[in-house]
Amino acid sequence: MNLIDELKESLRMEVRPNSEGVDYLEAVISLKELDLLHSLLKKHIGPATKVSGKEASLPKKIQKIVDSLGGLRIEQSFFYRQEGKQVIYAALWPWQSDPNRITLKSGVSKTVPAA
């Protein structure tokens, strides 16, 4: 089972309309789901590359993916794993307006953008 299918099956979430099958998922989850979400991300991707509260220096190709998602603020987390030209990624954006909600943006980039 791929990451996005497992996330949809395992977590209670509000899926946003711009989600695209198994290639991109954007959803809002409750803070109560965060531990399960972290365990699924670690299983499929590995540990966070950028953890909340820390800065991260990402390779240029990965930074382009992050930029396409809207960038990363200090309180956000980012996970990715590259396999050949494919990148599986997930970004977690805690809401400042409601600390009990988190936006999840996860997807598969078929080819890594050029540097």
10-residue averages of pLDDT along the chain (115 residues): 89 92 92 96 95 90 91 94 91 95 92 56
What pLDDT is recorded for position 111?
64
Classify residue 41: in a domain, yes or no.
yes
What pLDDT is recorded for position 115?
52
Domain tally, the chain: 1
Put simply, whether the predicted model's pTM sits higher than 0.85 gets the answer yes
Classify residue 69: in a domain, yes or no.
yes
Classify residue 115: in a domain, yes or no.
no
Instruction: Compute the distance between CA of residue 17 and CA of residue 14 in angstroms, rounded to an integer.
Output: 10
What pLDDT is recorded for position 20?
82
Classify residue 114: in a domain, yes or no.
no
Classify residue 54: in a domain, yes or no.
yes
Structural domain range at position 34:
3-109
Classify residue 62: in a domain, yes or no.
yes
Classify residue 18: in a domain, yes or no.
yes
What pLDDT is recorded for position 4?
92
What pLDDT is recorded for position 22?
79
Classify residue 56: in a domain, yes or no.
yes
